[in-house]
Amino acid sequence: MIKNDIWITEMAQKGMISPFESKQIRNIEGLPAISYGLSSFGYDIRLSPVEFLIFKHIPGTVVDPKHFNPENLEPTKLHRDNNGTYFILPAHSYGLGVALEKLEIPDNITVICIGKSTYARCGIIANITPAEAAWRGYLTLELSNASSADCRIYASEGIVQLMFLEGEPCDISYETRRGKYQDQLEKVTPARI
């Protein structure tokens, strides 16, 4: 069953989402913002301004998930203007960011992350894997720019929506099996095996 705003609020008060916004925030200091916070059946998390890395083209290099080379990623500058703070994701490229909110998922819940329509309409595809039962930390966010134009990715504003799915408690949770991405910090976590 998908969980609603009442349940999400109750669980956030117990530490499931931190920091937590109890309603949709649509402006920051009087400026329009890409919404974040609680919705009817989900929660829109924000992109942290701490770090955003873009895959760079290195001729002759192949990205290998079993032997990931962090030199394939380069940091991008955080820009600021009257519309807010943002990173630039170049056309036809792929970037990694991190969530501003820390999550502590209950052991009978799995979280699905879905891209926001505002970004989808600009050609941005959110390719975020699920947060499994009893996962903790800051999500690494994977974003692809499928358009032929560079795109602003706003920091401290909504980036993806979380949907909380309840099931019977599992025998072995992400925490119990000591998942390799447990307790991620507020920084990009590259591929591990």
The structural domains of the chain, ordered by start, are 5-56+88-106+119-166 (2.70.40.10)
Provide the Cα torsion 5, 8, 12, 15; round to 10°: 180
Give the up-direction half-sphere exposure of residue 114: CA atoms within 13 A in the CB hemisphere: 10
Higher pLDDT, 128 or 9: 9
**Catalytic (active-site) positions:** 142
The percent of residues in the chain predicted with pLDDT above 90, rounded, is 80
Question: pLDDT digit string (tens) for 29-88?
Answer: 999 999 999 999 999 999 999 999 999 877 888 889 999 988 899 999 999 999 999 999
3-class SS at 145? strand
**Where does the pLDDT of residue 95 fall: very low under 50, low under 70, confident under 90, or very high at 90 and above?**
very high
The percent of residues in the chain predicted with pLDDT above 70, rounded, is 100
- pLDDT of 127: 87
